[in-house]
Amino acid sequence: MSLAALLATTEPTNVWQWLNDSSERTVTGDIPTQAWTTLWHSVLAFVIAAAAAIPLAAVLAHFRKAEVLSTWLVNIGRVIPTVTIVAVFVIISLRNGYGFEPWPIVFALVLLALPPLYSNTYTAVRDASPEAVGAARAMGLTELQILRRVELPLATPLILAASRVAITQVVATEALAALFGGTGLGQYITFGIANRDIYEVQAGAVLVAGLAMSVDLVFWFVTRFLVPKPLRPAPANRRPIHRLRPVQPINRNTPSLGGTP
């Protein structure tokens, strides 16, 4: 914003005023557009990752193949910093003359979401009540029927929980696109820092965090709604401190947090 424009308008004195005053956003674009950009990047990336990871993991888990792949994915996904994944795609895109939007960021987000979705689905299907699976097999269901009718329904709570974690991280990471000149809610933050406009920065932060938490909440509702009561994972904090048998170190009902926020 030019100096004249700065002096001409009433300055916001806190975040809320900034958010309310739409004239502040003549450069960076209005909130709904930016929010929508972030959202559809995230949802697209999540859908691609889920469509790739979940069926593959489910089938492999049912046939008990490629067990190590699951652990490896989680380890690699955790160690490789998110920024670098985005950077790689940006480099590729630059070298080939593509624009920035939207593919580099979407691909990067897909790679971010893959490890937690894959590995949690794998674990969920693999550990789905072996007794029920055994009974189904004895009753004469085909392998695919067992997967569809027994293992997947039993694994659904965990898969939904993992999805919730994955998509929240994806939304949070989408803001990184702005660091590379992309659009989306992250732009408020980068612009604000560049122009030393603290309220824009704060507003951007609030919006990004807000969107991430809203998505988290929406998925929490979806999970509560879709999962029948008997299948809800037991809360970890009800266990007494000392038991006769040793406890598994990581509660299996909490999806492992892959990637970074």
User: What is the binding site for other proteins (CB under 8 A)?
Assistant: 75, 78-84, 87-88, 90-91, 94-95, 168, 171-173, 175-176, 179-181, 186, 189-190, 192-193, 198, 201-202, 204-206, 208-209, 212-213, 216, 235, 237, 239-251, 257, 260-261
- Nearer to other proteins by Cβ, of 81 and 99: the residue is 81
106, 188 contact by CB (below 8 A)? no
**Beta carbon of residue 47, minimum distance to other proteins (angstroms, whole number):** 20
Structure tokens at 132: 């029920």
What is the distance between the terminal CA atoms of the chain, rounded to a whole angstrom?
31
**Beta carbon of residue 42, minimum distance to other proteins (angstroms, whole number):** 11
Nearest alpha carbon to residue 77 among 112, 33, 36:
112
**Beta carbon of residue 21, minimum distance to other proteins (angstroms, whole number):** 18
SS3 157: helix
**Beta carbon of residue 218, minimum distance to other proteins (angstroms, whole number):** 13
- Nearer to other proteins by Cβ, of 121 and 168: the residue is 168
**Beta carbon of residue 210, minimum distance to other proteins (angstroms, whole number):** 9
Q: What angle do CA 23, 26, 31 make, to 5 degrees?
A: 80
- Nearer to other proteins by Cβ, of 229 and 245: the residue is 245
- Nearer to other proteins by Cβ, of 149 and 239: the residue is 239
Name the one residue in this structure whose structure tokens are 């994806």.
Answer: 170
**Beta carbon of residue 255, minimum distance to other proteins (angstroms, whole number):** 12
Calculated CA dihedral for residues 10, 14, 20, 24, nearest 10 degrees: 50
- Nearer to other proteins by Cβ, of 122 and 180: the residue is 180
Structure tokens at 231: 């299948």
d(CA 60, CA 53): 11
- Nearer to other proteins by Cβ, of 55 and 210: the residue is 210
Write out the H or E segment, with its range, that includes residue 129: none
